[in-house]
Structure 1
Amino acid sequence: MRVLVIGSGAREHALLLALQRDPGVTGLICAPGNAGTAAIAEQRAVDVASGEAVAELAKDVAADLVVIGPEVPLVLGVADAVRAAGIACFGPSADAARIEGSKAFAKDVMAAADVRTAHSEIVDNPAKLDAALDRFGPTWVVKDDGLAAGKGVVVTPDRAAARAHAADLLENGHPVLLESFLDGPEVSLFSIVDGETVVPLIPAQDHKRVGDGDSGPNTGGMGAYTPLPWLPDETVDEIVEKVVRPVATEMARRGVPFSGLLYAGLAIGADGPAVVEFNCRFGDPETQAVLALLESPLGELLNAAAKGTLAQVSAPRWKDGAAVTVVLAAENYPGPPRTGDTITGADAEGVLHAGTKRVDGQVVSAGGRVLSVVGTGADLVAARDQAYERLSHVDLPGGHFRTDIGLAAVEGRITL
């Protein structure tokens, strides 16, 4: 099976590494890819937002399966174009991808499916903002209703800061979603979904804020770890039965069945799991940690979902132990990043590329989140040690990373 992976981040690098371990995968192509993916897959240029371009490329490289990594092409209907060309595609239709592309749509689906989530209100008129803010707090959650790469969210006890973010979004023509604050530790649970068939992967926890101790602004994610020693196994079953499966069933009932990776971001509070957000694709950086522990063939799993035969495939098998990924970000990220710096140590084992390119034989930075460094081990302590030891051999001028990925779990500071 020849597999074409669409995207250019560390998530796609992780997908390619896992697909490379699948004996049923005979060829790997990545478009547009980065300096790291070029070492393990044929690299091709493509406009990832163009369904026509991706479908043509898939035919040109004789792909048997297309795996779409990022959310933007999914929301724009690239998976529909690939399927229309007669090629199997892992990724939801544009209609189904609204579960991420429109938070209002996701809220409507959850209400119909009786899934616990935050109380919310859409504001699309600046004149209504202050009255709406008065109905929330004392911690305000302000979101861009559309796609924002994980950076369109402000969670703050400061009403003025919440108002400023909302006003900025509205000024730029983006409707605002106000939500009640959900307490409790957060969990990312990925599920492979084929209509109403749901196959959960192992849960992970992302670290969204840029600085240690969850300080500073939100980012696309600064690191992740799996599994979660503080999360009972039965909670994963509860999430599947009370959250993921009801949403999948409701989407099928509406005539927009979900096919692909359904990502549930949840807060685990005193009353059980509640949904913070849904995404329509593999999360980044959680994918880098989760797939590091996958033992069974990834290509077989994704191909079955793409072809509607997921129910016939054995459940995924996982290695014992833990995995941690730490993101190395460029100077000034999550603001406009400094780029063009030469990176040393980027080709070592466990180093996954995101914002990189190769210039005159050197790997240079080309984005905000530049590398993901992954460690594995018998437990979370060992996995953290390996990740940070590997990171110590990588140098990016002006680069920064969090030193506390997974540390609260190691120290037993996360409780339910």
Structure 2
Amino acid sequence: MKILVIGSGGREHALCFKIAQSKKVTKIYCAPGNGGTHNIAENVDIKPNEVDKLLDFALENSIDLTIVGPEEPLVLGIADKFQEKGLRIFGVNKECARLEGSKDFSKRFMEKYNIPTAKYNSYTDLEKAIEGLKDYNYPVVIKADGLCLGKGVVICNSEGEAITTLNNILKNRIFGSEGEKVIIEEFLDGVEASLLCFVTEGKIIPMESAKDYKKIFDGDKGLNTGGVGCFSPSPLFNKELDKKIEKNILNKISFGLEDEHMDFRGILFIGFMIVDNEPKVLEFNVRFGDPETEVLIPRLKSDIVDLFQKTIDGDLKKEDLTWTEEKCVTVVVTSKGYPGDYEKGFEIKGTDTLDENIILFHNGTKYHDGKLVTNGGRVMSITSLGNSLDQARETIYNNINRIHFNGIYYRKDIGKIN
């Protein structure tokens, strides 16, 4: 089989890493890929949002299966276009992608099917939105409706902050058309958790659990990021919580998808807030998470190509997913200044000195004049399996200081459970 993976991050490198283990696969392409995928796939200079170019490439190269990493091409309808041409693609159609592409749509879906979530209201008019703030206490959450590259969610601690945020989104259009509508939402105070699931033919099949770290500094301080560390499994998920999630959330999502005639075939990533031991849904994503993928993929024993095929065909079963008992930790090394402004293009050294039990996933790297250089805010995910979280994290922190580039930074407390 010839496989095309779309995307350029650690998630896509992890997917290529696992796909390469399948005996069914003869060739992997990654568009556009990075310095890590370069070693196991042929990188193709096409951006994820260049849907027509990707379609032409898949047709010209007789691609047997395409896997979509990021959300933007899904929202743009890449799955529909590929399917119209008879191409097999793993990723949800444009209608189902609205669960991530429009926060208003996903909140209305939750409300309609009685899925526990935070109280909210949607607005397109600035004055009405400011008036609507009176219905909420502080802090309050304000979200631009669209994707906004993950930057469209603001937690406001005062009325002044909230009014400024509403002005920025609705009047100043800092997110362009993605911010034509805003959601004002009650702030939930609890423990954040997430669950990735395969979904097909109305069946929702959860993967193993994972816990990611969003804040840039140790002790969960500083600005939110795309994720700077992760481990699996999460001790938060016990039998009691699993039952509540299945009864109050997964079953209701499944019913809602069927009732709306939404043919969801792909990944559903559910973000939770656990409030007083009760799970509430923060958001839906319709693709693999990053850095969650970097800790789930090494624990997956199943042939991932089989899982993709069975999801597309509608015959995936829970027992098709098998996992190692080993624990997995990943620590993301970042560029100085991330998640704010940062410089790129610094040479990366030391990756050839890492121990064999380190799995190195590249997030933002590329080759330039034969040298591996930084090409993003999140640069690499240093990953390891172990019989315990402590063993896995010790392996990582014994190796991570062998990697060098100008401005390298990483948290020192990933995988540390008090």
TM tier, shorter chain?
over 0.9
Q: Which residue of 2 aligns with 1:211?
A: 217
**CA deviation after TM superposition for structure 1 residue 401, in Å:** 1.9
Name whichever of 222-231 and 4-13 sits farther off.
222-231
Structure 2 residue 285 is the aligned partner of structure 1 residue 279: yes
Q: 3-state SS of the aligned residue for 1:149?
A: helix
Alignment of 1:249-260 (within 5 A): 249-260=255-266
SS of residue in 1 equivalent to 2:320: coil
Paired position in structure 2 for 1:227: 233
Structure 1 segment 114-263 matched on structure 2, within 5 A? 114-170=114-170, 171-172=172-173, 173=176, 174=179, 175-263=181-269
**Which amino acid in 2 is paired with 1:406?**
G
Tell me the equivalent position of 2:338: 333
User: Hey, what's the Cα distance between the residues in 2 that align with 1:236 and 1:271?
Assistant: 11
Range moving further from structure 2, 191-200 or 16-25: 16-25
Aligned length: 408
Q: Find the counterpart in structure 2 of residue 103 from structure 1.
A: 103
Tell me if the contact between 1:350 and 1:390 (Cα under 8 Å) persists in the aligned partners. Answer: no
Distance 1:132 1:10, change over 3 A: same
Residue 397 (structure 1) aligned to one of 406, 411, 414: 406
Tell me the distance in 2 between the aligned counterparts of 1:371 and 1:391: 10
Change (3 A) 1:80 1:264: same
The verdict on how the C-alpha distance between 1:156 and 1:394 changes in structure 2, with shifts beyond 3 A counting, is farther
- Counterpart residue number, 1:369: 378
Question: 1 CA distance for matches of 2:411 and 2:159?
Answer: 28
Higher mean C-alpha displacement, 40-49 vs 289-298: 40-49
The whole-number CA distance in structure 2 between the counterparts of 1:209 and 1:176 is: 24
Task: Return 55-64 or 344-353, whichever deviates more.
Answer: 344-353
SS at match of 1:264: strand
Q: Over residues 235-267 of structure 1, what are the superposed CA-to-partner deviations in whole Å (9 max), with x where a residue is unaligned?
A: 234323422342233123212221100000001
Cα deviation 1:88-142 (Å, max 9, x = unaligned): 1110011110000001110111112211001111232222333222322222222
Distance in 1, matches of 2:164 and 2:293, equals 33
CA distance in 1, matches of 2:162, 2:383: 35
For 2:348, what is the secondary structure of its paired residue? coil
Match of 1:414 in 2: none
Instruction: Give 2:274's aligned residue.
Output: 268
Distance 1:156 1:205 in 2: 25
AA aligned to 2:406 is P
1:53-86 C-alpha deviation (Å, 9 max, x unpaired) = 2122122332211100000000001111111121
The DSSP-based 3-state class of the residue aligned with 1:127 is: helix
Does the C-alpha gap of structure 1 residues 108 and 129 become closer, same or farther in structure 2, counting only changes over 3 Å?
A: closer
Unaligned runs of 5+ in 1: 412-416
Residues of 2 paired with 1:365 and 1:57: CA distance? Answer: 27
Instruction: Report the CA distance between 1:295 and its aligned residue.
Output: 1.0
Q: SS of 1:97's equivalent? A: helix
* Aligned counterpart, 2:327: 322
The one-letter code sitting in structure 1 at the alignment partner of 2:169 is L
**Structure 2 unaligned blocks of 5 or more:** none
SS in 1 for 2:25: coil
Instruction: Give distance in 1, aligned partners of 2:231 and 2:386.
Output: 12
Say whether residues 1:305 and 2:314 are aligned partners: no
Q: Say if 1:143 and 1:178, in contact at 8 Å, map to a contact too.
A: yes
Are the aligned partners of 1:150 and 1:218 in contact in 2 as well (CA < 8 Å)? no
Does the aligned pair in 2 maintain the 1:190–1:262 contact within 8 Å? yes
Distance 1:237 1:26 in 2: 41
Distance in 1, Cα, partners of 2:247 & 2:320:
16
Whole-angstrom CA distance in 2 between matches of 1:8 and 1:400: 21
C-alpha deviations, 1:127-181, integer Å up to 9, x for none?
2333222322222222221113333222343443343333222221412222112
Separation in 2 of the partners of 1:242 and 1:107? 16
> Structure 2 vs 1, CA of residues 363 and 26 (structure 1 numbering), >3 Å: closer, same or farther?
same
Give yes or no for contact 1:226–1:289 (8 Å, CA) kept in 2: yes
CA RMSD of aligned residues (A): 1.8
Contact 2:211 2:231 in 1 (8 A): yes
| Identity over aligned pairs, percent | 37
Work out whether residues 130 and 166 of structure 2, in 8 Å CA contact, stay in contact via their aligned partners in 1. no
Q: Give how far 1:315 is off.
A: 2.9
CA contact (8 A) 1:153 1:218 kept: no
- Provide the rounded CA distance (Å) in 1 between the counterparts of 2:410 and 2:166: 28
Deviations 1:170-224 (A, max 9, x none): 2214122221122221111000001302211011112112222222222111111
TM-score normalised to the size of structure 2?
A: 0.92
Deviates more, 1:167-176 or 1:71-80: 167-176
